[in-house]
A and B are shown apart, each in its own frame.
Chain A
């Protein structure tokens, strides 16, 4: 009974071992089992099948025991099974390496110690075909490859020596082969940069080739764009600083101009002090022009955009330009933008042309020629990248070319910076081109400069083209200063000097007034006496609250109160809202401008 049970156990075991051997033999292709693993596996299974067979015959009393052979077979089984597992892991590792080698996203080759190329992967095969027009069989050794890639014998010798040294170091240290960039000559004669490295594998070398040509180009392009960005940021920072200074300076100029005019009004025409006051007024007005230029550069000076016909506007300027540049310089006009219009303040457009012509004149030392040309153009994506920071689209191109001394690269890098000048001290403010830059940027345009020392310079100004009717000339100011009729004005101004000036002007014009030095005080006055106020004259930039917000708060309580904003620094508070242009006074303003504006607003419906 006992023996029967043992025999049956062993028969089942025998069947299982034989079945396992058959399954392994028939389905070995489904697993990564190479020959070195397959034989020990099947061998060990059959060996143990023999062992269990001997158990069967022993317990079935068929023959004598196989004990000595059994013991030997069991020991051999252990080692065979060990070989199977070990070789199975090696086969799997080899299969994984092969899969990675073939499918790797970089070019790989396995090279023997004698230089024979043992294997290459798909990427390298493809690169050989595309870049060198060769098949893998054409480069059976490293020497053959070097002869193709480095046709110059001296360079090839240097590459070969450096490679041999790096391979030696890698084998000695057990580390990967240090990668090195090399210029490889392709079949069409062009050079491409490759990063060549590798790893020792046993006694062979796994060599990798990475084409870094496109990456280097991209890096160079990134560096160029970063430099452009830094330059733009620098100019922006300078502009903010200049704008801040100009804003404060504007307030003081407003007081100087205003009080000087008021004093002159009280003096007789023949008064001996009057010429001095005229000088003061002239100097202050020139200073006001200067601050406006600074504010324009800082892009804080929003003009009154209208549709400007480019050819007509330049044609209208020719007379003034000819007087400006002098007789020894020829002025050539080449209109080519028929029907081309831009949307911007006409004064600012004139400033662009005039400043560029002045700059061109100053570059010509004796006789020469300045050419002003216009054309219609479009910028595609490729050109946009060259010009720098330009959106693709339709543009009007205004070119001003001179035959002057030209500029070197170092000078060209600074020409749009405010106060930068190559002229002698006192011969220029250094704001002309900065003003042009500010106006063009404000109009979403672009400037490109081409210059060669000793040859000349061309400024190309690209302004976005606008489709629309050319704007009409705005009505001129009336001859007499319109006077008030006793209307009550709330003046809100945090600068005491400007507030006092406004008060004096209002009184002179026939208005009554109350002055608030802060928005909070203004709102308190509204609460007390809002029903008796007719107009709000407020600064735009103030602590606590800006003029627009103040006006909105007052309108909720006293909607009948009309308003005028005043500022030399509009920023973006009124940006995009052109309706407010009718309610805006640019500082510094004369008493006449104040009178005209107040009357316009109060008389409007």
Chain B
């Protein structure tokens, strides 16, 4: 795989970090910390993907896939937190004159 494409992917992930950080600051969003953690770990995996081309291939390769696994676990935890709590009643809808 061409290193340039991996770098490009890494840049995309890094550019996304501040956006996610800003959007996930609302304390009412359940699981926001784990979602951000998952994204950070996936970003770390992309960093490892780039670095393995030049140094300690096996070590960074292991690091890459370990980060993916941990990111996946954080993502699962975030979705569970997001959907935790009792079932909400049918959303209160105002009277529709139509």
Contacts and interface: CB of A to CB of B under 8 A. Distances in A.
B20 A119 contact: no
A137 to B, nearest CB: 6
B29 A88 contact: yes
Contact of A13 (B5, B19, B71): B71
A29 B89 CA distance: 9
B44 to A, nearest CB: 13
Interface in A63-90: 65, 67-68, 71, 74-75, 78, 81-82, 85-86, 88-89
Contact of B65 (A55, A67, A75, A88): A55
Contact of A20 (B13, B28, B68, B76): B76
Interface of A is mostly: helix
A140 B97 contact: yes
Contact of A2 (B13, B58, B66, B75): B58
Interface in A526-555: none
Given A31-B83, A89-B29, A82 B19 contact: yes
Interface string A19-31: 1100110011111
Contacts of B33: none
A395 interface: no
Contacts of A55: 65, 68
A95 B91 contact: yes
Interface in B70-98: 71-73, 75-76, 78-80, 82-88, 91-98
A6 interface: yes
Contact of B97 (A14, A65, A137): A137
Contacts of B94: 98, 101-102, 119-122
A12 B71 CA distance: 11
Contacts of B9: 71, 74-75
B68 A92 contact: no
A387 to B, nearest CB: 47
A85 B42 contact: no
Contacts of A28: 83
B5 A71 contact: yes
A28 B82 CA distance: 9
A447 interface: no
Nearest to B86: A30
A102 B93 contact: yes
B1 interface: yes
Given A10-B68, A17-B72, A120-B97, A23 B83 contact: yes
A29 B87 CA distance: 7
A9 interface: yes
A82 B20 contact: yes
A136 interface: yes
A16 B72 CA distance: 5
Interface residues of B, number: 50
Which of A15, A20, A27 counts the most B-chain CB atoms under 10 A from its CB?
A: A20
A504 to B, nearest CB: 91
B68 A82 contact: no
Given A6-B65, A52-B68, A82-B16, A20 B75 contact: yes
Contacts, number: 142
A273 interface: no
B75 A17 contact: yes
B97 A67 contact: no
Interface band, chain A = 35 or more
A5 interface: yes
Contact of A85 (B24, B72, B88, B95): B24
A125 B95 CA distance: 8
B61 interface: yes
B72 A89 contact: no
A81 B74 CA distance: 14
Given A13-B71, A20-B79, A85-B35, A74 B46 contact: yes
A98 B6 CA distance: 44
A122 B26 CA distance: 29
Which of A14, A45, A81 counts the most B-chain CB atoms under 10 A from its CB?
A: A81
Given A10-B68, A65-B1, A78-B12, A102 B92 contact: yes
A88 B35 CA distance: 12
A2 B20 contact: no
A78 B65 contact: no
Contacts of A23: 76, 79-80, 83
A94 to B, nearest CB: 10
Nearest to B66: A9
Contacts of B56: none
Nearest to B59: A2
Nearest to A94: B91
B58 to A, nearest CB: 6
Interface of B: 1, 5-6, 8-9, 12-13, 16, 19-20, 23-24, 26, 28-30, 35, 39, 42, 46, 58, 61-62, 65-66, 68-69, 71-73, 75-76, 78-80, 82-88, 91-98
Interface of A: 2, 5-6, 9-10, 12-17, 19-20, 23-24, 27-33, 41, 45, 48, 52, 55, 65, 67-68, 71, 74-75, 78, 81-82, 85-86, 88-89, 92, 95, 98-99, 101-103, 117-122, 125, 136-137, 139-140
14 contacts: A9-B69, A13-B68, A15-B72, A16-B76, A24-B83, A48-B42, A48-B72, A71-B5, A71-B9, A74-B9, A118-B97, A119-B94, A119-B97, A121-B94
* Minimum-distance CB pairs A-B, first 6: A16-B72, A27-B83, A13-B72, A67-B1, A9-B65, A20-B79
